[in-house]
Chain A
Amino acid sequence: MGNIKSATLLPVAFVFHPEWWYKNHGLCFERDFFYDPDIRVEADLQMRKILQERFGKYGIEQDTKLETLPCIGATYLAAGYIISEMFGCEIIFSKDSSPQVITKNITDKESDHIEPLYLSENKTFQELKKLVEKLKNKYGYVIGDINWQGVLNVALDLRGEKIFIDMVQNQTRARRLFSTIADTIKEFVNYVRSETGTSSISVNRTIKYIDPTINLHSNCSVVMISPEMYQDLLLEFDRNLCESLQPYGIHHCGNNMHIHASGYARLRGANFFDVGWGSDISACRKILPNAFLNLRYDPAKMRLAKPDEVSKDIREMLNKSIQLEKTGICCINMGYDVPDENILAIVQTVAEYRLKILK
């Protein structure tokens, strides 16, 4: 397993919830934010400026260029919706929230007959393509990417809770849906990375500092199933994606990555893992000794804890990961009232560890 070594020692990434951007800086996240070329580019620049002005002194986004860049997706947000939208789920866009997917609740029959999408005929994909083409015409190139979710996440958006019933009582039906989603994801990711060179900065910004070409598959919903069920039903799709989309990583934001780590260890060629807050980091490191572990801090705790407590938590997390040259720290989806002091606490704690390593 694994040759990933970060160019930035102990990279740190912060992602704020739209509420933070809206309440503190007036940015809105309606549909135009994602699909209108002019608004897209303007909002992207504004976000970079805000981050640099507010946190540049902490070293965050310090080297960001403050010029308009043709960025096709929201790489400063956690916003997974587009694959579900492509499959026909209704999406609610709002000024202060990430796009929310309305579960489609497809029937047994619809599930049994579902087919991979033809991107050339897909309305949502064509809207994205139009955005890409417009930006390319104007700038000559495009950058950035769009969160492409994950197989079980999208299955839940399409089938609702019934996907869990299928996984126990009708595995043929579940596999058909997973396979269809995986095929669509593959085609979508290949398109995006062929245009921009990346696919997953929008899933976790840490990869920007390690290897921006990593393709990060979101396994947010895997927290709800047993390791046996993951390995029986979903591992094959992760394997398939992993073979096609190299370099490959897994985003496991649930609090039980340690129970799924053995399954993930069976994914040859997956070298990067987002480790959800509450997971047993020591156990993950033991099972994935050479992988890059990107440790996620709790955004709820970031709101309420004192800086000392945040520093203490970060120290504990880093100590448990052991291989610090293969470790990152991130905190994603922080709300409007997260104190800047807590951001600084993370930055300073990580800086201490960087110094220790360099000595």
Chain B
Amino acid sequence: MLDLNEISETLQRGNAGKVEELVKQALKEEVVPKDILENGLIKGMNTIGVKFKNNEVYVPEVLIAARAMHAGMDVLKPKLAETGVKNIGKVVIGTVKGDLHDIGKNLVKMMLEGAGFEVIDLGVDVSAEKFVSAVKEYHPDILGMSALLTTTMINMTEVIQSLQSAELRERVKVMIGGAPITQNYAEQIGADGYSPDAASAAEDAKKFVI
């Protein structure tokens, strides 16, 4: 019988091919898909997240682990759907207008997916209108905004104001992050949460939906 820890550890090493193989093996052995997800894939990504937060691993290691997670999820997704397993929440995410940087946003996306969220990625240089439209269309639990530049972080305020104008602000939690962002700034602009790194973002997001 396959030990699901093996999936978690293989994922942490970033061996996508082996993770895919192990997930297939677990399904063949009739392990419940939800267990494979929670005790294999999510557990592995959570561990990577903690190591990232503690500076034990860096961006390359997180990226290869996330690739391995995706390889496993590609196999597992249809089975999860069949058994009625749902995501723990939905997040719309993007880098704000005027900012083309996406590595930080992508890391957050990966950690959120690794934590069991469905993530709708709007990409970079996302206008306030586009964020608002996405909230209307996808009904997310959380709206995540990223900015790397001190000069673009101010556009987060515009998004929050646009949500208010569209009477959507109460329907969604707003989380922000990025190199120049601080807790103080989040409070100042009326965001619900600030996370200093991708792993913390996933942990903080869970608090909003669980």
Contact = CB atoms under 8 A, between A and B. Distances in A.
A327 B59 CA distance: 31
Contact of A335 (B63, B64, B151): B151
A259 B180 CA distance: 21
A299 B150 contact: yes
B58 A224 contact: yes
A168 B61 contact: yes
A165 B150 contact: no
Contacts of B71: none
B106 A97 contact: no
Interface string B137-152: 0000000000001110
Given A169-B64, A225-B58, A304 B98 contact: no
Interface string B48-67: 00000001011111011001
B21 to A, nearest CB: 17
A299 B63 contact: no
Given A229-B60, A335-B150, A300 B103 contact: no
A92 interface: yes
Contacts of A165: 60, 63-64, 67
Contact of A300 (B59, B61, B63, B182): B182
Interface in A175-233: 224-226, 229
Interface string B146-190: 000111011000000000000000000000000011101100000
A167 B63 CA distance: 11
A161 B180 contact: no
Nearest to A17: B151
Contacts of A300: 150, 153, 180-182, 185
Contact of B185 (A19, A100, A256, A304): A304
Contacts of B44: none
Given A165-B60, A304-B185, A335-B150, A299 B180 contact: yes
A298 B149 CA distance: 12
Interface string A267-299: 000000000000000000000000000000011
A229 B150 CA distance: 29
B18 to A, nearest CB: 13
Q: Shortest 3 CB-CB distances between A and B: which pairs?
A: A164-B60, A300-B180, A224-B59
Interface of A: 17, 19, 92, 97, 100-102, 156, 161, 164-165, 167-169, 224-226, 229, 256, 259, 298-300, 303-304, 333-336
26 contacts: A17-B149, A17-B151, A92-B100, A97-B98, A100-B100, A102-B100, A161-B103, A164-B59, A164-B60, A164-B64, A165-B63, A167-B60, A168-B60, A168-B64, A169-B14, A224-B59, A225-B58, A225-B59, A225-B60, A229-B58, A259-B55, A298-B180, A300-B185, A333-B150, A335-B154, A336-B151
